Amino acid sequence: MDTDGELGAFLRAKRARVRPEDLGLPTYGSRRRVPGLRREELAQLAGVSAGYYTRLEQGLSPNASDAVLDAVARVLGLDDAEHAHLYTLARPRPRARRQALEPERVRPAVRSMVESFGGVPALVLGRFLDVLAWNHAAHALLAGHLPFDAPDGDAPADDEPDRAPADRPNIARLLFLDPHTRELYEDWHGKTHSTVADLRLIAGRYPDAPQLASLIGDLSLHSPQFAALWADHTVADCGAATRTFRHPLVGKLTLAVEFLALPDDGQRVVIHHAVPGTPSQAALSLLVDLADDGGRAPSGHGGQAPQEFQIRR
């Protein structure tokens, strides 16, 4: 990813969303040719010259001070995540020091922990939203139409121990390209917005990762919705949320979703939790029972599930 180009695109997108009148600036009516703030207006409000700000937006000021970046963030009204993203883009790591990323593996202790959650859906996400591992409850909730061992992918050959498994499920790919996943989320648009905003932050941290470039390119090519969201340059941490699912086997259930960052490796554990005593907890328990029973609905629950949604073990 071209970090310098990303910085300019990010700043232009954020300038465009600021209304000049909110900052006490004249709008000039129909004579204003660009949406939001002009470069010279932002520069004036941030206390720098127009030429200096232009060089910053063009990626030509890698030594911009904290004071300048903070002033630009203040004028643009950036939140904490956007402010941190600005620093990441404005001060990329020297390319000579960037190291190739090792293929991702789940540590045995992490895999064991995820499995120990039992009836609570839990999975491990890699740096670029690949599913590295999931327990049976998470598989049943999110992707029962895929094989349970899908996160293991196409295992590397013995003579290629450093190659990462191929064809792992990826949350972003599933959201935008898989019809089952699109139907699963009641607020699909909200989920896609938060996922793309999270992916933007990740792209700032790993600007040279070919895996990420391939993912973004593929999604941009095959999903107009993704391309539009990506062009918006929204960034946000993917934090705690409440999601409502429309599951083909057990119907609607609302779950709290928590993200737990693992140290040192960029991986996250995602946990889905139902409030005790609610219909959602009952639906989740039924779903786990169905998973344990191979995807067959017990008597009184509509007979056997449709073949395309049967849980595969």
**CATH number, domain containing residue 223:** 3.30.450.180
* pLDDT of 297: 45
Using pLDDT thresholds of 50, 70 and 90, give the confidence band for residue 154.
low
pLDDT at residue 302 greater than cutoff 50: no
Q: Higher-confidence residue: 296 or 128?
A: 128
- Between CA 78 and CA 86 the distance in angstroms is 9
Q: Is 123 exposed, middle or buried (0-12, 13-18, 19+ CB in 10 A)?
A: buried
Same domain flag for 54 and 138: no
Q: What is the 3-state secondary structure (H, E, C) of the chain?
A: CCHHHHHHHHHHHHHHHCCHHHHCCCCCHHHCCCCCCCHHHHHHHHCCCHHHHHHHHCCCCCCCCHHHHHHHHHHHCCCHHHHHHHHHHHCCCCHHHCCCCCCCCCCHHHHHHHHHCCCCCEEEECCCCEEEEECHHHHHHHHCCCCCCHHHCECCCCCCCCCCCECCCEHHHHHHHCHHHHHHECCHHHHHHHHHHHHHHHHHHCCCCHHHHHHHHHHHHHCHHHHHHHHCCCCCCCCCEEEEEEECCCEEEEEEEEEEECCCCCCEEEEEECCCCCHHHHHHHHHHHHHHCCCCCCCCCCCCCCHHHCCCC
- Between CA 123 and CA 136 the distance in angstroms is 9
* pLDDT of 60: 83
* Most confidently modeled range among 17-21, 156-160, 270-274, 287-291: 270-274
- Between CA 150 and CA 304 the distance in angstroms is 23
* pLDDT of 194: 95
- Between CA 269 and CA 247 the distance in angstroms is 22
Q: Which of 238, 177, 163 is nearest to 202 (CA)?
A: 238
278 within some domain: yes
Q: Which of 79, 63, 88, 78 is nearest to 206 (CA)?
A: 88
User: Across the chain, what does the average pLDDT equal?
Assistant: 84
pLDDT at residue 301 greater than cutoff 80: no
Using pLDDT thresholds of 50, 70 and 90, give the confidence band for residue 303.
very low
Same domain flag for 172 and 284: yes
100 within some domain: no
Using pLDDT thresholds of 50, 70 and 90, give the confidence band for residue 308.
very low
291 within some domain: yes
Same domain flag for 77 and 122: no
* pLDDT of 259: 95
Using pLDDT thresholds of 50, 70 and 90, give the confidence band for residue 199.
very high
Answer yes or no: are the C-beta atoms of 279 and 247 closer than 8 Å.
Answer: no
Same domain flag for 138 and 65: no
Q: Which of 72, 40, 249, 234 is nearest to 143 (CA)?
A: 249
* pLDDT of 98: 47
User: Which tens digit of pLDDT belongs to each residue from 220-267?
Assistant: 999 999 999 999 998 988 778 999 999 999 999 999 999 999 987 789
Same domain flag for 232 and 138: yes
Same domain flag for 79 and 120: no
Same domain flag for 88 and 117: no
Residue type for 253, please? L
Mark which of 92, 120, 154 sits at the end of a domain. Answer: 92
* pLDDT of 238: 77
Give the range of the structural domain holding residue 119, as residue numbers without chain letter.
Answer: 108-309
* pLDDT of 304: 40
User: Global pTM?
Assistant: 0.78
pLDDT at residue 69 greater than cutoff 60: yes
Between 35-39, 93-97, 191-195, the lowest mean confidence (pLDDT) is in 93-97
99 within some domain: no
Mark which of 57, 92, 127 sits at the end of a domain. Answer: 92
Using pLDDT thresholds of 50, 70 and 90, give the confidence band for residue 310.
very low
Same domain flag for 113 and 249: yes
Number of residues that this document lists for the chain:
313
